A and B are shown apart, each in its own frame.
Chain A
Amino acid sequence: NAGVTQTPKFQVLKTGQSMTLQCAQDMNHNSMYWYRQDPGMGLRLIYYSASEGTTDKGEVPNGYNVSRLNKREFSLRLESAAPSQTSVYFCASNLAYNEQFFGPGTRLTVL
């Protein structure tokens, strides 16, 4: 099993550009999550999907949208990137009320 995979690994955007971060898991997990991690900070939840067909806001949802495409895939979209969105983005998945499994991350820089 590949676990949780994310693409791309690195991305540089200019302010105002848009992009979609992709995430997929092959563990048949119901729930999926998107976090951001800033230097010296813990992970902050952006959005999550408790099950296929549902999405909910986390702690820091402004400036982002998500799509739970199917049970395996959960994408994060930045419609108009801002420098404040420079961060490392992690996708995670789990069966409810158990440990979350994380992907390797996407390092995003917005100029």
Chain B
Amino acid sequence: GESVGLHLPTLSVQEGDNSIINCAYSNSASDYFIWYKQESGKGPQFIIDIRSNMDKRQGQRVTVLLNKTVKHLSLQIAATQPGDSAVYFCAENISGAGSYQLTFGKGTKLSVIP
């Protein structure tokens, strides 16, 4: 089975509102998490990452929260814009010698309503 999944496959948000995209993971050994954005017809684009020694990390208009107790990851986008419309994937990794594989969730489609 898949160890990384999403609660909501689609999300519609009014322009200017905040968006929250959720992700659950099942492997407690995972210690590195990434959010990617994929626009139609393009490859995934890195947004933000977080390591397990942190519970929050902020970027430009984005914040990632990590709750290791319940194995939950979220991506918050502030003041959502039409350009944020895309599919968002979370991915997890177990660092350490020989561990190079990212496990991706199926993705959440974010639609921004103008």
Contacts and interface: CB of A to CB of B under 8 A. Distances in A.
B49 A97 contact: no
B32 A97 contact: yes
Interface stretch (A14-22, A71-79, A102-110): A102-110
Interface in B3-62: 4, 32, 34, 36, 41-46, 49
* Chain A interface bracket (under 10, 10 to 19, 20 to 34, 35 or more): 20 to 34
Contacts of B89: 42-43
A101 B95 CA distance: 17
A100 interface: yes
A43 B104 contact: yes
A25 interface: no
Interface residues of B, number: 24
Contact of B106 (A42, A50, A59, A99): A42
Nearest to B105: A42
B44 A43 contact: yes
Nearest to B97: A96
Given A40-B106, A41-B106, A101 B46 contact: yes
Interface of B: 2, 4, 32, 34, 36, 41-46, 49, 89, 93, 95, 98-102, 104-107
Interface of A: 4, 31, 33, 40-45, 48, 50, 56, 58-59, 90, 96-105
